[in-house]
A and B are shown apart, each in its own frame.
Chain A
């Protein structure tokens, strides 16, 4: 039989309580009974002594009627069963029970038993030995106390001359006290003790049940359920871990374990997906590019024939154009698989946007989506890779068009503008490390698309992982444990446990020692550790003053993005379009913007559309320098910026 821990504990405690209380009760009852008996024995002895003395003269003077009266009177007292006198040979001479006067007692009778069985003279026996307990015919117990009446000189010198000087014991006084009262008292004691024991067992069991249910069974049940869910493959399982005890520690360790498992699994899946897309791209490139070479070559040769008519020429142009589009698709896949660094040149962002719009125009017209332009005239050249930025524009436009259901009411607003903004609010920490150099940036937990900064927060004995918002000044931290307003936790590196507090820096708002992470050559970014305090400082970036950006805003009136999807939007293979989406568009977009040292922001609410804001730095030299191009410029097709294609 399988018993739950709680039931076993309760049964155990009940058994121990029962045993201890039972033994105590037995001991108490016995002691009580013995004390009662001893007291009654003393009373009986005293009584027999009193009777002996008060009847002395009646006996000496042989006043039998008086003696008889006295014995009967005493025998009628409450608690006294019987008082009687029998002579040396056992004949009952006097008794409060008049019916037995004259009867002879056998030596085996319990009244004689004390002396005659012991074979000792009666007068030498202790009161305890002279006492006996027996059961009366009606069932109640009786304490009998015998007292020998010894022969004395006054007896044999008395006028009656009834006794000879040679006799030792003349008779025995036998006093019988009822034990009914005492027995009732002991029985009541026993009942009280049993009741008390039962109550104690019930109370301790109840307390134990409550404690074990609350402290052990409940958390253990949650842990078991969590383990089952993990076993079934749900690695996002968390269990309540607030208990300040070992089970709470276990729950926290469990949550940490599942989180790490889930991270590891996600990384594996991601790596696997990337490897698959890489293989797929290579396979497609190899298999498709050869036939495409044939199509492109023959079609372009045919185009040059002077004898072809205008209609054929147009058709051939379609073939060339579409083949080149295929080439771009394959190239795009390869680009994604190997993340080509941008080749930056001064670029007119407005021009790139116009080309991008031209490319998607057909699709927008089909979906009956209205397009709205607002291109800033004062936008200077942006150091950017025109092809890549055009891909960004196309991706954002296609995305916006897809978000609109095509009922003819959707609008896409495309805007560009020059902005000058301080670092606070947009500068992104990209390579955060702890003082010992451990990587803190976590690509798996993104805050509005940017990898969060993973740190360990410690409050007392509680540790929790917090992802700090990498956008300077925004403070949208991702927090798994609930923080308490005003509490000052300490922060450490989750890998090497180095403390992140900076001794010489204090929060300028509340004076609490600040904590910081390093951002490579861009110095340190500091935060106030006190919960609820919003102070933060990135000196290097503040010192740079406002920076110029070219901003591209693509806004749609589509269905919007759910909050839970916002953080995953830029992950490769994440799509909300089902089989229609590859999940690569925004991932590529993010990669391109990131490669330009820019940032991309999303704001959206469900049902009200979405706004993507791309910011490209205008002046600052590129963070990632372009490497040698894979394909020589001379032969690399103008790809997406090809005006011929754009016009289509």
Chain B
């Protein structure tokens, strides 16, 4: 049986993975999680998900490198980068690498959901979004 996920979240911090998963589940999105870029690239969810949320500072491949790798597999996939340390050039870097949006940690549910909905909007055809 093949499983379907709406979002793939990549972060080495369990608390961040769990928080993102919880917020998105409450919003009715199914969430897969990976703790680094390598396992995310190997994850079945990457092939079918509608959004990737990826930390910038990962062990192994960095978040920026991971974005490029994701893009090679899914050129049109929306990718949101999250980081706990944003510098003046970070957003430009993430845009250069091909990220769709950028979010600074820590965030609350509203901030995350606003961004996720915004990112999903253009590609949203199935109408999954907006589920109560």
The answer to whether the Cβ of A73 comes within 8 Å of any Cβ in the partner chain is no
Contact with B along A119-159 (1 / 0, CB 8 A): 00000000000000000000000000000000000000000
B70 part of interface (Cβ distance < 8 Å):
no
**Is A285's beta carbon under 8 Å from chain B?**
yes
Separation of A291 and B14 alpha carbons in the complex (Å)? 10
Residues A292 and B85 in contact in the complex (CB < 8 Å), given A301-B22, A631-B91, A634-B118: no
CA distance A628 to B102 in the complex (A): 13
Q: Does B13 contact A (CB under 8 A)?
A: yes
Instruction: Known contacts A290-B84, A630-B91; decide if A301 and B109 are in contact (CB<8 Å).
Output: yes
Please tell me if the beta carbons of B101 and A632 are within 8 angstroms of each other in the complex. Answer: yes
- Is A17 an interface residue, CB under 8 A from the partner? no
B85:A286 contact, CB within 8 angstroms = yes
Asked if B115 CB lies within 8 Å of chain A CBs, one says yes
> Could you say which of B84, B88, B90, B109 contacts A300, with CB atoms under 8 Å apart?
B109
Interface membership of B19, Cβ < 8 A: yes
Is B43 in the interface zone, CB < 8 Å from A? no
A295 within 8 A of B: yes
Q: Mark A522-561, 1 if CB is under 8 A from B, else 0.
A: 0000000000000000000000000000000000000000
- Tell me if B15 is interfacial: C-beta within 8 Å of chain A: yes
The closest CB in chain A to the CB of B111 belongs to A635
Residues of A within 8 A of B105 (CB): 289-290, 292-293
Closest residue of chain A to B108 (Cβ to Cβ) is A300
Contacts of A631 in B (CB 8 A): 86, 91, 102-104
Q: Name the one of B19, B84, B115 contacting A286, with C-beta atoms under 8 angstroms.
A: B84
Of B106, B107, B115, most buried by chain A (CB within 10 Å of CB) is B106
- Chain B residues near A637: list those with CB within 8 A: 111
A298 within 8 A of B: yes
Q: How far is the CB of A334 from chain B (nearest CB, A)?
A: 7
Nearest A-chain residue to B109, judged by Cβ: A300
Establish whether residues A286 and B57, one from each chain, have CB atoms under 8 Å apart when the complex forms: yes
Collect the chain A residues with CB atoms within 8 Å of residue B92's CB.
628
**B90–A296 CB distance below 8 A:** no
Asked if B86 and A327 make an inter-chain contact with CB atoms under 8 angstroms apart, the answer reads no
Q: Is A53 an interface residue (CB 8 A)?
A: no
A419 to B120, CA, bound (A): 50
B107: A residues at CB distance < 8 A: 293, 296-297, 635
Chain A residues with CB below 8 A from B88, complex form: 338, 340, 627, 630
Q: How far is the CA of A301 from the CA of B27 in the complex (A)?
A: 11
B22 touching A293, Cβ below 8 Å: no
* B87 CB-CB contact with A under 8 Å: yes
Contact assessment for B106 and A289 in the assembled complex, using a CB-CB cutoff below 8 Å: yes
Measured CA separation A636–B57 after assembly (Å): 20
Contact A334–B15 (Cβ < 8 Å) = no
Chain A contacts for B20, CB-based, 8 A:
297
Smallest beta-carbon distance A105→chain B, Å: 127
Using known A-B contacts A286-B57, A301-B26, determine if residue A634 contacts B112 with beta carbons closer than 8 Å: no
Interface: A282 (CB within 8 A) = yes
Q: A297 to chain B: which residues have CB within 8 Å?
A: 19-20, 22-23, 106-109, 112
Chain B 104-132 interface 0/1 with A at a Cβ cutoff of 8 Å (1 = within): 11111111101100100000000000000
| Binary CB contact string for chain A from 337 to 378 against chain B (1 if under 8 A, 0 otherwise) | 010100000000000000000000000000000000000000
B97 is an interface residue with CB less than 8 A from chain A: no
Question: Which of chain B's residues have a CB closer than 8 A to the CB of A288?
Answer: 84
Interface centre among B20, B84, B91 (most CB of A within 10 A): B84
Q: Does any Cβ of A come within 8 Å of B96's Cβ?
A: no
Q: Is the CB of B19 within 8 A of A298?
A: yes
Nearest chain B CB to A529 CB, angstrom units: 43
Output the least CB separation between B57 and chain A (Å). 7
Chain B interface category by residue count: 20 to 34
Check A285/B85 contact, CB under 8 A, given A296-B106, A301-B26, A327-B106.
Answer: yes
Which residue of chain B has the shortest Cβ distance to A635 in the bound complex?
A: B111
Measured in the bound complex, the distance between the Cα atoms of B92 and A286 in whole Å is 19
Residue contact A334 to B85, C-beta cutoff 8 Å: yes
Q: How far apart sit A171 and B20, CA to CA, in the bound complex (Å)? A: 152
- Tell me if B49 counts as interface (CB < 8 A to partner A): no
Residue among B103, B104, B109 with the highest chain A CB neighbour number at 10 A: B104
- Is the CB of A304 closer than 8 A to any CB of chain B? yes
Interface residue? A294 (CB, 8 A): yes
B104–A630 touching, CB < 8 Å: yes
Contacting pair B90 A630 (CB below 8 A):
yes
Q: Distance in Å from the Cβ of A483 to the closest Cβ of chain B?
A: 45
Q: Is B16 part of the binding interface, using a Cβ–Cβ cutoff of 8 Å?
A: yes
Q: Report the separation of the CA atoms of residues A297 and B18 in the bound assembly, to the nearest whole angstrom.
A: 10
Measured CA separation A286–B56 after assembly (Å): 11
B26 & A630 in contact (Cβ 8 Å cutoff): no
A114 at the interface (CB under 8 A from B): no
CB-CB < 8 A to B57: which residues of A? 286
Within 8 A of A (CB), among B70-92: 84-88, 90-92
Set A299, A300, A635: member contacting B114, Cβ < 8 A: A635
For the complex, give the distance between the alpha carbons of A634 and B103 in Å: 10
A323 at the A/B interface (Cβ < 8 Å)? yes
- Please judge, given known A-B contacts A296-B108, A297-B22, whether A290 and B90 are in contact too, CB under 8 Å: no
Is A320 an interface residue, CB under 8 A from the partner?
yes
Give the complex CA separation of A324 and B108 in angstroms: 9
Mask: chain B, 45-85; 1 = CB below 8 Å from A; 0 = not: 00000000000010000000000000000000000000011
Residue of B at shortest CB range from A285? B85
Most chain B CB within 10 A, of A294, A299, A636, is at: A294
Cα-based distance from A438 to B88 in the complex (angstroms): 29
For residue A632, which residues in chain B have a CB less than 8 angstroms away from its CB? 91, 101-103, 115
Question: In the complex, which of the residues B13, B101, B108 has the most CB atoms of chain A within 10 Å of its own CB atom?
Answer: B108
A290-B106, A294-B18, A632-B103 given; name 5 further pairs at CB < 8 Å. A292-B105, A297-B19, A631-B103, A632-B91, A635-B103
Q: List 26 A-B contacts (CB under 8 A).
A: A285-B84, A285-B85, A286-B85, A289-B84, A289-B105, A290-B15, A290-B84, A290-B105, A290-B106, A293-B15, A293-B84, A293-B107, A297-B107, A298-B19, A300-B108, A301-B23, A304-B26, A338-B87, A630-B87, A630-B104, A631-B102, A632-B101, A632-B102, A635-B103, A635-B111, A637-B111
- A residues with CB within 8 A of B: 282, 285-301, 304, 320, 323-324, 327, 334, 338, 340, 627-632, 634-637
B residues contacting A by CB (< 8 A) are 13, 15-16, 18-20, 22-23, 26, 57, 84-88, 90-92, 101-112, 114-115, 118
In the A-B complex, list the 8 residue pairs whose CB atoms are closest, starting with the nearest.
A289-B84, A297-B19, A292-B106, A294-B15, A293-B106, A300-B108, A289-B105, A285-B85
